[in-house]
Structure 1
C-alpha cells in the first residue's frame, strides 16, 4: 500500500504540457508509418533475422560470454553497414514514396491485408486458364502472392483489381493485347496487377534450356514465398515455381493438387518429388523448350 501511495504522490508532481502531447503524437505517427512500411515490404522478414541475431547477443550478454561480446563489439560497425546495404532497395523506395505520397492521407487509410489466401474456385480457374493457354501456345506468367507482399512488383505493372476467372486470364495473355507482356500478380482471389516485371534468377547453375519466363518465375520464387505458374509459348507445357524450385510438364490434375496443397499450407508435401534445376540434368528425358 505504501508503494502505491508513493507512486501516486509522484504522479502529482508530473506536469504534462502541450509540447509533450505533440511529441507523443509525432512519435506515434512515425512509428505507425514505419510499421506499415515494414509490413508492406520484404523488410519484415529481413528484420526478423536481425531480431534473432540481436536476441543471440542479448543472451550472450546475460550469460556473460565475453568472447562473443568482444567479437560483436568489434563487428558492430560492419554489421551496421551490412544492414544498410541489405535494406538499401527498401530504404530507397521508402524515401521515394515519402516524397511522392501524401502521408496525411495515407495515415488515415486502412492497412490492406496481404496474407489472405485463395479458394478452390480460384484454383479451378487457374488450372483451366493455364491449360487453355498452353493448348493455344500462348505464353503466360501468373504469380500468386502468399505471406511476403509483392508490392514492389505490382507497382511495375498496370492495376487490374478483378476477380480471378479463366476468361480474364486468357484475355490478358492473348497475343497483341495491351496487357499480354509481363506477369500477372494474384492476391487472394483477385488479379491485382498485370504486365509486371519480375527479377530473373541469378543462379549460375540453372539449365541453359530454361527460357526467360522460367527464369523470371524462379527469380521471384527465390526472393519471395510466392507461387508462379509458367506456360511455355513454344511447347504449351505448364510448370510451377516456388521456393527456387521448379516442377516441369505438369498435368491438370498435378497442378490442381499442388495448388490445393499450397492453399492448405502444406508446403512440405508440395516440395516432395520436385526437381531443383541445377545445370543440365544428366538423366533428363525431356528437354525444356526455349521460350
Structure 2
C-alpha cells in the first residue's frame, strides 16, 4: 500500500499493532504505581531520541544513545516486580495445569476440591465480616509461599471454620498478620506480607488491604481481606483488589482456583 512517498506493507501494520499492544499491557501492569511515571518519562525520552535522530543532530543523538543503553539496565532493576508479574501472567496462561480441557481429561477437579476448601474459607470470612473481625487469608495456588510462612508461626493444622476464625480473634496472639492456607491446611499464621506501592488505592483501604494486594502482586495467591472497621470483604488476585459480598467471594474463588465458570 502506497501513501504518498511511504510504502506500507502488511508486516509494518502487524509490527505497529504488536508494539501498541505490548505498550498497552506494559502500561496496564505499571498503572497506579511509581513505576508508571518512570515508564512514561523513559518513553518520552525515547520519542525525543527518535526525533533528534531523524533531524540529524549527531552529538545529541550519541548522548541519548548512551543514556538509553544505561537506562535499559536501570529499567530492569526498577521494573523487576512488574516484569515478574508479566512473566507470571504469561506462564499462568500457558501452563497445562490451568487448561480446563486438560483438567477435565486428567480428572483434576476432585483433587482441587480438597486442595482448595473454598466453602470453609468463605464461611469463615462471612463470620468474621459479621463480627467485624479483621484479618487476611492467603490461599496458595502454584507459587511457593514458604518464605512468607517462615516470617510467621508454623501451624500446619487441618483447616476448619472455627480454627480459622479463632486465629483472628482479638484474644489470639496470632491475630496480627496473615494466615496462609496450603493444600487444604493452615500452614502458618501471623505472617508478614509485602506491601503494595499502588498510590491510587481508595482511602478506605488500609494496611491490611495493601498487604493483601502486595501478596497478589508478588505471587499468584488469592488474598482475602476482612476489615475490622466496616466488616467489608475484599479479594486481591493478580494485582487487582475489589470489595465483594460473600456470595461473590465464593464465585470468584471457584473461577480462579477451580476454573469453574
* Relative contact order higher in (CA < 8 Å, ≥ 6 apart): 2
Deviations 1:23-48 (A, max 9, x none): xxxxxxxxxxxxxxxxxxxxxxxxxx
| Aligned positions of 1:89-128 closer than 5 A | 117-119=112-114, 122-128=117-123
Q: Which is higher, the Rg of structure 1 or of structure 2?
A: 1
Asked if 1 retains the 8 angstrom alpha-carbon contact of 2:213 and 2:241, the reply is: yes
Task: State how far apart, in whole Å, the 1-side matches of 2:202 and 2:232 are.
Answer: 17
- In structure 2, the residue matched to 1:189 is 184
Out of 250, 260, 264, the residue aligned to residue 254 of structure 2 is 260
Task: State how far apart, in whole Å, the 1-side matches of 2:80 and 2:115 are.
Answer: 37
Q: What is the alpha-carbon root mean square deviation over aligned residues?
A: 3.0
Deviations 1:50-103 (A, max 9, x none): xxxxxxxxxxxxxxxxxxxxx9xxx7xx86xx68x969xxxxxxxxxxxxxxxx
- In structure 1, the residue matched to 2:215 is 220
State the 1:177 CA deviation.
Answer: 1.1
Task: State how far apart, in whole Å, the 1-side matches of 2:255 and 2:209 are.
Answer: 22
State the 1:232 CA deviation.
Answer: 0.7
Task: State how far apart, in whole Å, the 1-side matches of 2:252 and 2:139 are.
Answer: 13
- In structure 1, the residue matched to 2:89 is none
Task: State how far apart, in whole Å, the 2-side matches of 1:210 and 1:179 are.
Answer: 22
Give unmatched runs, 5+ long, in structure 2.
Answer: 1-64, 82-110
TM-score of the superposition, structure 1-length normalised? 0.51
Task: State how far apart, in whole Å, the 2-side matches of 1:86 and 1:261 are.
Answer: 28
| Aligned positions of 1:240-279 closer than 5 A | 240-250=235-245, 252-265=246-259
In the alignment, structure 1 residue 175 sits paired with structure 2 residue 165: no
Cα gap change, 1:143 to 1:118, in 2 (>3 Å): farther
Which secondary structure does the structure 1 equivalent of 2:255 belong to? helix
Deviations 1:170-202 (A, max 9, x none): 110010211111100011200100000011101
- In structure 2, the residue matched to 1:142 is 137
